Structure 1
């Protein structure tokens, strides 16, 4: 039996591939926990500069929870004696991840898979994919993924998506800010490589502090975020990468960032 998640280093990039093509890359506890661990290991290792999250094949990025009988997909495998759920652990991991996480949206994205897409930092999608939160068609609402959708989608479109359970196009995802780029399927990996090149040559320290600041400020008032920003400027400026970046600029040479 093949592994349900493939974890592979490609240079400075860690690829995480949900490898359940026959189940449209649906989620279960093993899949979610494996993704969670892979992200945690990448952060602690110090060698990875970016993470790519994708699905096997070309039909689905992720179809959400596995709804097959006895599959124990997360939507229906709730133990009320254990209120902390493993999908929430993954969302928290993505929220706290200091590495850029890019979704390579190679196929349709539904339900919980759409939540994972919204939790990534950036996304590139093939132009023939469909997106949707189809939970209302089976009598539930996308509760677990709603916190991330609220941060990404326009409110009216979010309500329409959740209430109708209908599917929308890649162009809709681009127009709503769910993905950064939409390209023909044949150009998906070339566009991904282009984006990764723009990410991995930057300071890991600047990205790490920037992501922390972004996630913190998003939950603050304007006044709080301004106070936080002015406190962070001297911290950021004191890093080795900041000093190297300034020296490289003044000396008109490429910077040699070390992540310190």
Structure 2
């Protein structure tokens, strides 16, 4: 296959109100490189700016890997090691910040094994559904590294002692263990993965985009605050939230015993 005929490394597809982002490098176990990371970043930004998308799904092609982390093939410029001193802010940091600021729900469809930087990507999503036969791991210690770039997100999701075990041993763990730790929302037999995803999306896309947007903003802000500061923030946000058109519509629909028509305003 000629260079020009190579498949797109990331597939971006609208399915109704959901934007699907698929890492399309099955032969490389959906490993990350700069092109992949920047394409995902742009796709998320476009989904938010467009105003019609209600949720984002991130997944990998095939059924072997969700994402194996940085592409470490010989001659490949892996994001874990490359540093451009003229551009000190790394593109994986740009993507993680984009996910942190994304006002849409982002769901990881974990169709296969999740390793290293791929695990950081999973942790940066809002929710995750996985097939029950997948394995997860931060395997960097086996090649003389530590998962530095993804550690901030893992610290927010995993119990500290389990995270230390993962980082130090580099061993892999099961979907059932990840579910127990709170890393995954749901684990289902592989044949039921998409049905469970559709079920979750149906519970997300019919809700107020404004409530979700303000709720995600509050979640991210309060997580970094002390209790006193968080209570003050919540107090200030209540009148803002209550004044939105979606809040008014939601209250009217409740009183009139009908389904709400949310516009995202």
Same fold, TM-score > 0.5, yes or no: yes
Q: Counterpart of 1:178 in 2: which secondary structure?
A: coil
Q: Does 1:139 align with 2:144?
A: yes
Q: Counterpart of 2:260 in 1: which secondary structure?
A: coil
Separation (CA, whole Å) in 2 of partners of 1:239 and 1:81 = 43
Deviation at 1:222, TM superposition (A): 0.3
- Matched with 2:39 is 34
Deviation at 1:77, TM superposition (A): 1.4
- Of 224-233 and 71-80, more deviation after overlay is shown by 71-80
- Matched with 1:51 is 56
Deviation at 1:79, TM superposition (A): 1.9
Q: Which runs of 5+ in 2 are unaligned?
A: 1-5
Separation (CA, whole Å) in 1 of partners of 2:190 and 2:61 = 14
Q: Does 1:107 align with 2:112?
A: yes
Task: Give the number of aligned pairs.
Answer: 260
Deviation at 1:81, TM superposition (A): 3.6
RMSD: 0.5
Separation (CA, whole Å) in 2 of partners of 1:55 and 1:175 = 23
Separation (CA, whole Å) in 2 of partners of 1:135 and 1:78 = 18
**TM-score scaled by length of structure 1:** 0.99
After the TM superposition, which residues 38-117 of structure 1 pair with which residues of structure 2 at under 5 Å, given as runs? 38-117=43-122
Deviation at 1:78, TM superposition (A): 1.6
Separation (CA, whole Å) in 1 of partners of 2:177 and 2:155 = 16
Q: Counterpart of 2:213 in 1: which secondary structure?
A: helix
Q: Counterpart of 2:264 in 1: which secondary structure?
A: coil
Q: Counterpart of 2:63 in 1: which secondary structure?
A: coil
Deviations 1:16-58 (A, max 9, x none): 0000000000000000000000000000000000000000000
2:129 to 120, 124, 128: 124
Q: Which runs of 5+ in 1 are unaligned?
A: none
